[in-house]
């Protein structure tokens, strides 16, 4: 009987240890990636989808806690990128260039023991997933690029200025526009900056409180400063996007001031042959907050066409 109890104990200990070591078990995880301890959370059910934060400051809860519908379609792997959320970050700005973020995603895929994954990202997170696709197309099932940044050339700069000036009659315009156009050089924290410019990100100001109510959203001052110095997003990638051949869904709000349809989404769509462009009306940069039914409906319909 004693021998049986020992065997049973060892069996359950092995089961517990195996579960604890499973990089895709539900809940919080840490992985040693490229010399940094990066934090990620696994939730949902379905094919594996890695979702990196934008890199410049927001933590993964800003997305995980506002996009639970994605967990009905995917096993989501929400990643706090370097220096964001609970992830470690280097003190060297040169370690915050686009390729550093791409290699973090690639090493996470390897850590997860996945031959291929889906990948999704918003804004500068969209920039990351597009760049990942350019370099590691062979490791992907598909891409979901949400209000994705495609680089800042003259067209993008012109559209950006026009979108800001379009809001000239809004009460938040005077202070916020000076910051966005570089006319106000007052040194502020990232948190202070966002207080001035967040209204620009929404088509309908009534939707701003919905985003502000998302639980546990935190911003990393370090990530903001390091990515600014390191040059995240400074490359020109439009000519490289044809390297992406996997199915790609490009989502954009028709009133997005910072990653607009004309200079970003439409050009991404044009460059990636196997892509679908969904322009969602009456939505700004945070499409899923302003038009959740249409936004998630587009994703669900597109995924069905991928025969999953």
Written as six digits, the tokens of 226 are 């390091």
The yes-or-no verdict on residue 94 having pLDDT over 90 is yes
Which H or E run includes 252?
strand 248-253
- pLDDT value of position 185: 85
User: For 236-243, what is the mean pLDDT?
Assistant: 97
**How far is residue 287 from each of residues 83, 167, 241, 292, measured CA to CA in Å?**
26, 18, 23, 7
**Cβ atoms within 10 Å of 21's Cβ, excluding its own:** 8
- pLDDT value of position 218: 97
Per-residue pLDDT tens digits for 7-63: 444 444 334 443 457 999 999 999 999 999 999 999 999 999 999 999 999 999 999
Of the candidates 256, 76, 41, the one whose C-alpha atom is nearest the C-alpha of residue 164 is: 256
Is residue 226 within 8 A of residue 96, CB to CB? The reply is yes
The yes-or-no verdict on residue 2 having pLDDT over 60 is no
- pLDDT value of position 40: 98
**Cβ atoms within 10 Å of 109's Cβ, excluding its own:** 21
Written as six digits, the tokens of 213 are 């109510």
Written as six digits, the tokens of 141 are 């099932």
Is residue 75 within 8 A of residue 44, CB to CB? The reply is yes
Q: Which residues pair with 37 in a beta bridge?
A: 32
Which H or E run includes 17?
helix 2-21
User: For 268-287, what is the mean pLDDT?
Assistant: 98
Of the candidates 241, 279, 297, 6, the one whose C-alpha atom is nearest the C-alpha of residue 147 is: 279
User: For 262-288, what is the mean pLDDT?
Assistant: 98
Per-residue pLDDT tens digits for 215-230: 999 999 999 999 999 9
Of the candidates 173, 163, 157, 120, the one whose C-alpha atom is nearest the C-alpha of residue 255 is: 163
What is the rounded (10 degree) CA torsion for 84, 90, 95, 96? 20
Domains and CATH numbers, the chain: 2-305 (3.40.50.1820)
């Amino acid at each position: 009987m004693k021998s049986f109890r020992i065997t049973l104990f060892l069996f359950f200990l092995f089961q517990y240890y195996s579960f604890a070591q499973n990089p895709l078990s539900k809940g919080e995880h840490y992985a040693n990636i490229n010399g940094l301890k990066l934090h990620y959370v696994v939730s949902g059910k379905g094919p594996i989808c890695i979702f990196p934060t934008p890199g410049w400051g927001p933590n993964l809860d800003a997305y995980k806690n506002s996009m639970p519908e994605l967990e009905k379609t995917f096993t989501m792997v929400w990643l706090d990128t370097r220096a964001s959320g609970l992830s470690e970050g280097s003190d060297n700005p040169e370690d915050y260039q686009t390729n550093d973020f791409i290699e973090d995603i690639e090493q996470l895929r390897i850590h997860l023991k996945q031959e291929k994954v889906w990948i999704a990202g918003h804004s500068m997170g969209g920039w990351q997933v597009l760049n990942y696709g350019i370099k590691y197309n062979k490791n992907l099932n598909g891409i979901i690029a949400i209000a994705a940044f495609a680089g800042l050339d003259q067209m993008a700069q012109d559209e950006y200025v026009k979108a800001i000036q379009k809001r000239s009659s809004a009460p938040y315009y005077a202070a916020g526009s000076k910051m966005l156009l570089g006319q106000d050089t007052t040194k502020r924290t990232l948190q202070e900056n966002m207080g001035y410019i967040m209204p620009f990100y929404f088509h309908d100001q009534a939707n701003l409180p919905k985003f502000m109510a998302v639980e546990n959203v935190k911003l990393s001052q370090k990530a903001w400063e390091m990515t600014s110095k390191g040059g995240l997003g400074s490359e020109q990638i439009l000519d490289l996007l044809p390297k992406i051949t996997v199915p790609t869904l490009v989502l954009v709000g028709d009133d997005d001031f910072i990653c607009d349809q004309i200079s970003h989404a439409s050009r991404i769509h044009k460059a990636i042959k196997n892509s679908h462009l969904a322009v969602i009306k009456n939505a700004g940069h945070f499409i899923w907050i302003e038009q959740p039914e249409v936004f998630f409906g587009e994703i669900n319909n597109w995924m069905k066409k991928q025969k999953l």
